[in-house]
Structures are given as C-alpha cells and as structure tokens.
A and B are shown apart, each in its own frame.
Chain A
C-alpha cells in the first residue's frame, strides 16, 4: 500500500483518505443498539420497574436480593454445567467428524452435505421437532419398542439437562465440524508423508500430527462453544413451553422469566449484568488458558 507514497506525500495522502464520517453510520447504530443497552441495563439494575409505571430508583436493593437468592447461584451453576458438559460432548465429536469430512472420499462429501443440515434450522424449529419426538405419549419412545427409550425425557428433572445438552450438540456439532474440517485441510501434507515413511500408524499420526496442528482451531472452537452455551436461550425456552422447571432454569432463562414473566425488570437487569460479567470472565479465562499471546506470534510462522 505504500508503494506509490513519496517522501512528504504521506501527510497529504492521509488527508486524502476517506473522511471519518464514513464510520459514523455504523458506529452510531452499533453504539445505540448494542453498547447503550449495556449502560441502560446497569441503570435499570438500580431501579424497580414493572413496564407499566416509570422505573423508580431503589439503590442496591435488587443487587442485594439477587446475590442473596440461592436461585441465582443455582441458575449460574446450571449454566456453567451446560458450558462444561457441552464442551466435553461436542469437542471430541466435532474434532473427529472434522477429520472425517476433510477426507476426499466421495461418500464423505455426501455425508458432510447431510451433516450440515441442522445449521439451516432455527432453534425454535429444532426445539419443536425434538419436543414432539421426545413426547412420552406419542413420540419416538412409544413406537420403537425399546423400553429404555420410553422415558419422560422432557418432564423428568433428572433427565432434562442431559436432553438439552444432547440437542445443543445436535444443533452445533455441525458448525464446529466445519471449523475443524477447515483446520485439517490446512495441515501440510508433507507432515503425513514423512510420518508414512517412518511407518507411523493412523492413530499415531492423529495424535502426533493432526491434534497438535489443530491447536488454534481447538481454541477458536472452544471459545465460541463456551460463549454460545453460556447464553443459550431459544431452544430451552421453546422446549419447555416457556415455563422451564427449576432443573433447567439456566441464567438467561432465569433473566427472561424474572423480567418478562414476573415483571421484575430491575431484578432481571441484575441477572443480565451477571451474564455479561461471567461471559467476559470466561472469555478472559479461555484466553489465559490457551496462552493466547504466545499463540498469535506463532501463527504466521506455522
């Protein structure tokens, strides 16, 4: 970009660049509809508001009641459980499927095209499909004839969390498969050729070439997975018919119900702020754990 710049022309060129006004429309819309709401949520968290009368300032009362409420900690704990279990379930499956679909075999390309179908469905559609499929009265369980399948999957408080984890995996493994597929396809073939000459088995190649080479993809995919499952809402809301039981009252659901069902928008705003803080904390933790600073410097040299 600097090729044509002559000495002294730098200043003039800078002045000739597009005016700062080009940024303003995007910045204004983004600031008003994404940044300002965070400030408004903070302000609302110090008020009592029922969506009918104007918000009334109550100081720290909402914060005190939310932090003293065991329900909040239960919701937060459940959300973290969803985050951790989702990662444990989705990462190995996505990684293996990514390697699988990166292969050039014709049947794998066909499989891949079908694997990615869940990506085009809305969470609402997926929730409705699984709600019918898992219904104890007329769903899958009553038709297959395997007694184990015939359980009250959605109504049993001991099962619902695992059912949700499974459906989230069904919905999001395709996306992460796609990420890993891209990662695998960038691994230099020469590494495998060398391993072949050394007589390394397929398993050895996977653990000593594929896995280490996918390090950055694993970090990316994991970060997205953690951020996504912490704020998961749509599917759980529709799956539980809008009245989630305590066993699946994850943080975003707790926030919605406290606000829009119980009309305690001030209290719900505290939960929204907790969601933001926990999200940022997890993101920072992921960055720390993956040694992010070291990683970026390696990227170009890899």
Chain B
C-alpha cells in the first residue's frame, strides 16, 4: 500500500526528472513568487515558527554552559555571564566515548549490511522475473506496514533464546530487518531506470551477475545509495526503543540510551544533562552543516517512517 505513496515523491528516481510539465514548472513556479509583492503575513508566520523552533535549542545550548552554582536563581533565558565547560568535561569523563563508539559501530554495521543485502535483492527484483523474486518483493512491501514497537517483546524473547540479548548484535540485526523493506523499495525504483542495454552488453561480454552488480549497478546507483544510507544511519543513530529493551549492560549502551541514564545519574545537574544532549547531537549536526542537501533528501526518501 505504501509503494504507490512512496514512489512519486522519493526524489531519488531519475525517472522523475523527465516527468514532463510537473517538474518543468519547478523553477518557474518559484521564480514567479519572488517577483510578486512581499507577503508580510507569511513572513510574520514564518518568523513565529522560527522562534518556536529556535527557543528550545537556544535554551539547551546556553543552559549546558551555565555554571551549577546559582543555577536555580538565574534567569534561564539569558546566557550565563560566566559560561563554563565543566559539565562537558563531566559528561566526557562519564564513559561518553564508549557510548559514542557503540553508536558508531551499530550505525555503521547496520547501514553496511542493509545497503549490501538490499542492493542484491533490488538487483534481482528488477532483473529477474521468477515467481519467487516477485513474491519476495510483495513480502517486502507488506513489511512497510509492520510497526517496530509491536515487535519488541517477541524480539526480546527471541534474542534471549539465541543468546544475543544484551549484545550490539541485538541492536544491529533487528535494525537491519526493519530498514530492509524501504531500502529495497527505493533502490529497486532507481535500478529500474538503468538502461537494459547496459546489462545486455555486459552479458554479451560474458560478465557474471556478480560483476554486473558491482561494476554496473553499484556505481550507477550511488546517489540512491547515499540517500538510503543517510536515512537509515539517522534512524539507527537516534533509535531509543531497541537499545532500551534489548541491551542492559553499560558496556553495550548507545548514545540515546545514555542520555536517559545520564538523566538518572546527574539528576538535578541540568547543565550536565543538557551538555550530554549537545554532545550526542554534535556528530549529526556537523553532518547537517557539511551536507545538508544530501541529509535532507535522505530524510524525505524514507518519508519519516
């Protein structure tokens, strides 16, 4: 059901650029507006929303450098007169790097496995028409509708049974499982637009299917791969529920879960808790500043599922 919802706007399919009047109107529509008289009402509304978005972020940043002494008496909306990075030091000394490392491991492993197996599946789905492959595609589509939340209890049970509970594998494997349907869908939409002649000429030269996958499909689908990789990475990096129910030992703790435990540990030391929030967001924020366009297109690719 989600397929037809997702395909027209994923923004990754090259087919879309040749879609006639709709996309042709793109830049013209925007230029026309710039020419009109300024829309004051829209400007005011836009500014109001900007304040709503910015205020909490501003509060988090200034509070994270507020000294603990006199914290409760100070005006929370003004930046502190004597900012301090003591709380950052405290967070960094509280095993922060271990959690960061775990988050990196889980995110990188999930993305690599997801992209690899999904690319193989998408390649087969586009280039093969056996009943098994077509049936698999329908199964993936069905998977888009499965709510992750409903699977935490059975996953807890199953992973305990096979001895993976409270390991990083307990985070990686289910994350891959839930990332696969959408990734396959987006990649196969993209691969479908690779001209069949290219496959044909490789076949004539006697290339194996694996060679076609790695020297034709892989390089040509790079834009789509970057998009799905970013989308999945952001989801896994920020994921909270799987780490909450599938890990226990601090050795296997990832960043979002560490925010939760920091909150219990630092209790009334609000600046320290918020310093942890800032630090955990920093890697993605850097990515946002460097490659905003890519990241943003990655986010709509998944339509925030």
Contact = CB atoms under 8 A, between A and B. Distances in A.
B209 to A, nearest CB: 4
A80 interface: no
A164 to B, nearest CB: 15
Interface of B: 1-2, 4-6, 8-9, 11, 21-26, 28-34, 36, 39, 42-43, 45-47, 49-50, 52-54, 56-57, 59-60, 63, 71-72, 75-77, 113, 117-118, 120-121, 123-125, 127-130, 132-133, 136, 139-140, 143, 145-158, 160, 173-174, 176-178, 180-181, 184, 195-197, 200, 203, 209, 212-213, 234, 237-241, 244-245, 255-257, 259-260, 263, 270, 273-274, 277, 280-281, 284-285, 287-288, 292, 295-296, 299-300, 303-305
Given A33-B177, A175-B304, A275 B53 contact: no
Interface stretch (A62-70, A155-163, A220-228): A220-228
A244 B135 CA distance: 43
A23 B136 contact: yes
A129 B60 contact: yes
Interface SS of A by simple majority: helix
9 contacts: A22-B121, A37-B150, A129-B277, A185-B30, A189-B32, A190-B28, A223-B2, A227-B305, A283-B1
Contacts of B196: 1-4
Contact of A25 (B56, B120, B174): B120
A216 B8 contact: yes
A197 interface: no
B29 A120 contact: no
Contacts of A230: 147
Interface residues of A, number: 127
A44 B29 CA distance: 55
Contacts of A173: 49
B53 A170 contact: yes
A289 interface: no
Interface string A41-67: 100100001010001000000000000
A142 B123 contact: no
Contacts of A128: 259-260, 263, 273-274, 277
Interface of A: 1-4, 14, 16-20, 22-23, 25-27, 29-41, 44, 49, 51, 55, 93, 96-97, 99-100, 102-105, 107-108, 111, 113-125, 128-133, 137-140, 142-144, 170, 172-176, 178-179, 182-193, 196, 202, 216-217, 219-220, 223-224, 227-228, 230-231, 233-234, 237-238, 241, 252, 255-256, 259-260, 265, 268-269, 272-273, 275-276, 279-280, 283, 287, 292, 296, 299, 302
Contacts of A23: 120-121, 124-125, 132-133, 136
Contact of A132 (B273, B303, B304): B273
Contacts of B76: 138-140, 142-143
A186 B180 CA distance: 29
Contacts of A216: 8-9
A123 B240 contact: yes
